[in-house]
Structure 1
Amino acid sequence: MSTSLEKLTGGGFSIGIELPLDHDWSPAGDAKRQHDGRRPGVPDLAVHAELAQLADTLGFRALWVRDVPLYDPSFGDAAQVFEAFSYLGYLAGITRHILLGTAAVVLPLREPLLTLKSAASIQELSRGRLLLGVATGDRPVEYPLFGRDFESRGANFREQIALLRSGARGYLPPGLEVLPQPRTPLPLFAAGLAQQTPQWLGSNMDGCLAYPGAPADHQRRAAAWREVAGAKPYVSFIHLDLAEDPDEPLQRHRFGARTGRRALIDELDALRNVGVDHIALHFRRNRRPLDETFAEIASEVLPHFHQTTTEQSA
């Protein structure tokens, strides 16, 4: 059976989706948020289950969820609201094929043994579909509220990676263990530098989660990653607003672009050519209905990049 790492890049470059499954940053979405009385940054998740299942059925490669323990209005973003591991457990039960990733769990805020148990549980319940993105976080206000030391987060991160790698073997008294034990090693992706050196990340992690950027940005970043990590996957994200006109030219905005599908194909092809292995599309700026957008990308964009089952097995 293929591992989640092998499935992520099987056949080459692949395309996934970053949650939440809402377009609340679009003009119409923001108007609906205000009408509903939701706080700025809080998405509408009324149809998230149906959209997750649609993404699975249409052949997107992965769903990625963020880990934002506390809502801080100064950041203007509540992410997907649900606790990351709880949500992945739910998604594992309603999908069949799509990979399930975290982008990314803030390790130093969490109890290490429970993080291991949560991740191993998702890996088991999803039948090996977990991609465990991990980080040290970028919100200093959270650390004292969780009783954690912000300054030692880098050392804490390294300790937790060692525990996750070992399955807690050697960390517990004789006879005790964390169940379930992962059948295969947990696939670990680092978001950012996580207070580590590039060399340490390249040696100790299975992949990289990089900030969004243009192809020229990723050309530099992916090359730096390859120097320390070889062929390990390099993953990033695009905040996409897909225009109805397939020929609308690409117009960049912060973390992404508004574009028609033909220029989107060109952009994705450029990202593949500079060393990106997987792109997750983020739709909170998208002006069109998400089910319609997913369907167009699946029929007109994915075939340019995802090989069919027959091609993959050839």
Structure 2
Amino acid sequence: MTLPYGIQLPIQSQSTLYAEPWEAAAGPDDLLAIARAADRAGFAYLASCDHVGVPRRLAPAMSTIWYDPVATLAFLAAATERVRLLSHVAIVGLRHPLLTAKQYATLDHLSGGRLVLGVGAGHVREEFEALGVDFGRRGAVLDEVVDALRAALGPDEFPVHHGKLYDFEGLGQRPRPAQPRVPVWVGGSSDAAVRRAALKGDGWLPQGDPRDRLPGRIEWIERLRAEAGIEEPFVVGAITEPLYVGEPAWDVGRRTLTGPPDALAESLRAYRAMGVDQIQVRFRSRDRGELTDQMAAFGTEVAPHI
């Protein structure tokens, strides 16, 4: 069985850590073409990030280009048929859980049940302060928001949640999600984030952990879940090194995995061997056409062998 593979969409977030130069001038038509290419090439999901506002001190590194994930994924849902729609990650503590539930339940309903809700604690203090949320308690806020979202995205038209921060019942929300249970994947690589994923999530989205660190984290997750008596399925993710299928004719960087499909497949199989259930891949590219060609080559020549 092929190891599922997804992609963080380019263009919609343009941090200098990973954005390619051509993305700065790209727009909706490019996103549509990339989403359709992912749908054709067997990608498991498209992912979109979340930041409400980026302070000036971080803008040179992060940029201020961060598309809204709900709007972006809804836009692409209408142009695709089977690929899933992942928020990687939504900073759900910035918003009231009923508002978040309304947005993402509608997205799941409109897409025919393709949502995966990825959540994270966030890291930009000014963003929290501007929205009136306590940055110092963001972990505790996220813990309760996940519980509240479990209720609000469940099957009940009138969800109930009584917590320390949020309290609601008797408020109906329709449409309901198409899925009976929307998967919640928790992002982050701190000890707190890994523990939260293990105990509250349906999956873990590490933030670029190197390969040699993953086995220990996976073992810890399994131990935490066993000790808590949690037996439900759990999806462990990993973000791979940047990829280029074939031999590039330009400098793709020393960390990029390159070479013939069989060599790339052999390298990526190591993730499955260590207990990873899905990988998020990223390709070096100089324009949209090169990216979609890389995605197609990966889907037909590499993926079947991992």
TM-score category (smaller protein): 0.7 to 0.9
Give the Cα–Cα distance (whole angstroms) in 1 for the partners of residues 188 and 20 of structure 2. 30
Would you say the 8 A contact 1:100–1:131 is kept in 2?
Answer: yes
Q: CA deviation at 1:56?
A: 0.2
Q: CA deviation at 1:98?
A: 0.5
The verdict on how the C-alpha distance between 1:186 and 1:194 changes in structure 2, with shifts beyond 3 A counting, is farther
Give the Cα–Cα distance (whole angstroms) in 1 for the partners of residues 257 and 194 of structure 2. 32
**SS at 1:267 equivalent:** helix
Correspondence for 1:85 among 46, 70, 92: 70
Please, which moves more after superposition, 181-190 or 75-84? 75-84
User: Which residue is equivalent to 2:200?
Assistant: 204
User: Which residue is equivalent to 2:181?
Assistant: 185
User: Which residue is equivalent to 2:285?
Assistant: 286
Matched, 1:236 2:238: yes
Deviation readout 1:206-263 (Å, 9 max, x if unpaired): 11001223432222222222222365111121352405329xxx9753xxx2422333
Q: CA deviation at 1:46?
A: 4.3
Give the Cα–Cα distance (whole angstroms) in 2 for the partners of residues 58 and 206 of structure 1. 25
Q: CA deviation at 1:264?
A: 2.0
**SS at 1:298 equivalent:** helix
Q: CA deviation at 1:125?
A: 1.1
The verdict on how the C-alpha distance between 1:44 and 1:181 changes in structure 2, with shifts beyond 3 A counting, is closer
Would you say the 8 A contact 1:198–1:228 is kept in 2?
Answer: no
**SS at 1:155 equivalent:** helix
Two-structure CA RMSD over aligned residues (Å): 3.1
**SS at 2:223 equivalent:** helix
Matched, 1:48 2:48: no
User: Which residue is equivalent to 2:42?
Assistant: 59
1:115-264 equivalences under 5 Å are: 115-167=100-152, 168-170=159-161, 171-174=167-170, 176-182=171-177, 183-192=179-188, 196=192, 198-229=194-225, 232-242=234-244, 244-245=246-247, 253=255, 257-260=256-259, 261-264=261-264
Give the Cα–Cα distance (whole angstroms) in 2 for the partners of residues 52 and 157 of structure 1. 30
Please, which moves more after superposition, 272-281 or 192-201? 192-201
The verdict on how the C-alpha distance between 1:116 and 1:193 changes in structure 2, with shifts beyond 3 A counting, is farther
User: Which residue is equivalent to 1:15?
Assistant: 5
Matched, 1:68 2:51: yes
The one-letter code of the counterpart of 1:299 is T
Would you say the 8 A contact 2:186–2:203 is kept in 1?
Answer: yes
The one-letter code of the counterpart of 2:47 is W
User: Which residue is equivalent to 2:155?
Assistant: none
> Which structure has more RCO (C-alpha within 8 Å, separation ≥ 6)?
1
Matched, 1:102 2:101: no
The verdict on how the C-alpha distance between 1:259 and 1:157 changes in structure 2, with shifts beyond 3 A counting, is same
Could you tell me the TM-score, scaled by structure 2's length?
Answer: 0.80
**SS at 1:141 equivalent:** helix
Runs of 4+ in structure 1 deviating by more than 4 angstroms, as ranges, are 21-26, 42-46, 197-200
Give the Cα–Cα distance (whole angstroms) in 2 for the partners of residues 157 and 194 of structure 1. 14
The one-letter code of the counterpart of 1:156 is V
User: Which residue is equivalent to 2:274?
Assistant: 274
Give the Cα–Cα distance (whole angstroms) in 2 for the partners of residues 221 and 112 of structure 1. 29
Q: CA deviation at 1:71?
A: 3.6
Could you tell me the TM-score, scaled by structure 1's length?
Answer: 0.78
**SS at 2:209 equivalent:** coil
User: Which residue is equivalent to 1:8?
Assistant: none
Sequence identity, in percent? 27
Give the Cα–Cα distance (whole angstroms) in 1 for the partners of residues 88 and 240 of structure 2. 13
Pairs aligned (count): 280
Would you say the 8 A contact 2:187–2:197 is kept in 1?
Answer: no
